[in-house]
């Protein structure tokens, strides 16, 4: 293969490779820079090649160190109760726990390893960036069949957009609770579009101050 052909091959491969959360792309350095060292790989699996509860807890704690946040003790306690890794656990209940952006990011180590029947994020003070990040994870890993985001008043447009995508694209989400949050025009529009293609059978919007245009937008679905 000539150098020109190799360059074109590398360019094509780097443009078409790399799939993951956020559609991150892979690129390659010049040949002489490809091997510059190595990092020791730590095997976190047991003898059967499967993750254990201890592995997941350890990975979560390391993620917390990376993101400079304290591990959520409530989350850790619930991970210890997971009976079988790889099958849906009961509930990840984080109600009342403050989840800022870094706390949300650190939870990925749990969400990518343990799917749940339900996730309760009620009253977790989710702000826009944290809500967007966490909801994208829940969608990507298909982490919940039931989701409660009630009483989070600061999710912002990005958070509601992420919730709309989750509602529209998830193959397993069948119940969504979004109570105690004013359903103003933008959230109503985002949810109404999502509901056209979603698999939801229950949408709970109690105390959402629905009236006027938002009510009309949701009511015509």
- pLDDT score for 61: 97
The kind and range of the H/E element at 63 are helix 53-66
Query: What's the Cα-to-Cα distance from 138 to each of 50, 133, 161, rounded to whole Å?
Result: 22, 9, 14
User: On the CB side of 105, how many CA atoms lie within 13 Å of its CA?
Assistant: 12
- pLDDT score for 217: 73
- pLDDT score for 34: 41
Q: How far apart are CA 99 and CA 122, in angstroms?
A: 11
DSSP at 101 = H
What pTM value is reported for the model? Answer: 0.76
Query: What's the Cα-to-Cα distance from 123 to each of 96, 149, 151, 179, rounded to whole Å?
Result: 5, 8, 5, 10
Q: Report pLDDT digits (tens) over 69-86.
A: 999 999 999 999 998 888
User: Which domains are seen in the chain, by residue range?
Assistant: 50-219 (3.80.10.10)
Q: Report pLDDT digits (tens) over 84-130.
A: 888 899 999 999 999 999 999 999 999 999 999 999 999 999 999 99
- Digit-by-digit pLDDT tens for the chain (221 residues) are 544 444 444 444 444 444 455 554 444 444 444 443 333 323 334 444 588 999 999 999 999 999 999 999 999 999 999 988 888 999 999 999 999 999 999 999 999 999 999 999 999 999 999 999 999 999 999 999 999 999 999 999 999 999 999 999 999 999 999 999 988 888 888 888 898 889 999 999 999 887 888 777 776 66
Query: What's the Cα-to-Cα distance from 53 to each of 11, 85, 110, 130, 207, rounded to whole Å?
Result: 41, 7, 10, 25, 38
- pLDDT score for 126: 97
């Amino acid at each position: 293969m000539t150098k020109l052909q190799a360059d074109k091959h590398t360019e094509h491969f780097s443009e078409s490779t790399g799939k993951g959360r956020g559609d991150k792309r892979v690129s390659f350095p010049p040949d002489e820079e490809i091997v510059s060292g190595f990092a020791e790989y730590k095997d976190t699996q047991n003898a059967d090649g499967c993750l254990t509860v201890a592995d997941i807890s350890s990975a979560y704690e390391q993620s917390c160190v990376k993101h400079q946040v304290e591990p959520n003790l409530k989350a850790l306690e619930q991970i210890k109760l997971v009976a079988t890794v790889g099958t849906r656990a009961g509930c990840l209940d984080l109600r009342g726990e403050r989840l800022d952006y870094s706390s949300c990011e650190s939870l990925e180590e749990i969400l990518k390893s343990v799917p749940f029947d339900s996730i309760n994020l009620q009253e977790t003070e989710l702000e826009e960036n944290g809500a967007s990040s966490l909801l994208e994870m829940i969608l990507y890993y298909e982490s919940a069949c039931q989701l409660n985001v009630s009483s989070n008043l600061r999710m912002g447009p990005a958070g509601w957009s992420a919730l709309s995508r989750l509602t529209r694209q998830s193959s397993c989400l069948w119940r969504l609770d979004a109570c105690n949050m004013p359903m103003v025009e933008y959230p109503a529009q985002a949810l109404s579009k999502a509901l056209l293609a979603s698999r939801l059978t229950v949408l709970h919007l109690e105390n959402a101050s629905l009236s006027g245009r938002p009510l009309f937008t949701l009511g015509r679905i």
